[in-house]
């Protein structure tokens, strides 16, 4: 009887001590979005047109969508983007990387390189956004 009471009290003590932990939500498998960010300064405005016409069709199969595509920039501090700013959102870092490395996108990168100067990045976003 004493052993049973001790076991019950020990279990109750564990439940009291671990209770808040057991109620906490476990992190879900929410995937963070990722963003392709590019600054592009054209040196050949005609030469970039085939790239501009084709690029969206290369990233749509990878969940990509334009968030920023040029537009007016209101620089508040420091240096602004050199040329045009482009941001493409993907559902995950893996999808952004798969798009960038895809044969379809790799085929048009040389057009961008010949037509201007660019800086490009793929960055992780914040989960739940």
pLDDT of residue 82: 82
10-residue stretch averages of pLDDT, the chain, 129 residues long: 46 45 51 95 96 98 96 88 93 98 98 96 90
Contact 114, 44 (CB under 8 A): yes
Domain 34-124, CATH number (from 3.30.70.100, 3.40.50.10880, 2.10.109.10, 2.70.98.60): 3.30.70.100
pLDDT of residue 28: 52
pLDDT of residue 22: 44
Domain boundaries, the chain: 34-124
Find where tokens 């690029």 sit. Answer: 55
CA proximity to 81, closest of 26, 119, 24: 119
Pairing of strands 34-42, 65-69: unpaired
Q: What is the dihedral of CA 6, 12, 16, 17, to 10 degrees?
A: 40
pLDDT of residue 122: 98
Q: For the segment 13-23, what is each residue's pLDDT rounded down to a tens digit?
A: 444 444 444 44
pLDDT of residue 92: 96
């Amino acid at each position: 009887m004493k052993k049973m009471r001790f076991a019950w009290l020990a279990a109750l003590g564990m439940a009291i001590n671990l209770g808040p932990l057991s109620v906490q939500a476990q992190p879900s498998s929410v995937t963070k979005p990722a963003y392709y960010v590019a600054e592009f300064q054209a040196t050949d405005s005609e030469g970039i047109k085939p790239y501009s016409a084709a690029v969206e069709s290369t990233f749509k199969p990878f969940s990509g969508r334009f968030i920023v595509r040029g537009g007016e920039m209101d620089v508040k501090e420091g240096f602004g983007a050199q040329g045009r700013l482009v941001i493409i959102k993907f559902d995950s870092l893996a999808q952004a990387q798969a798009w960038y490395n895809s044969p379809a996108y790799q085929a048009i990168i040389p057009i961008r390189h010949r037509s201007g100067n660019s800086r490009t990045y793929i960055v992780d976003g914040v989960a739940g956004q």
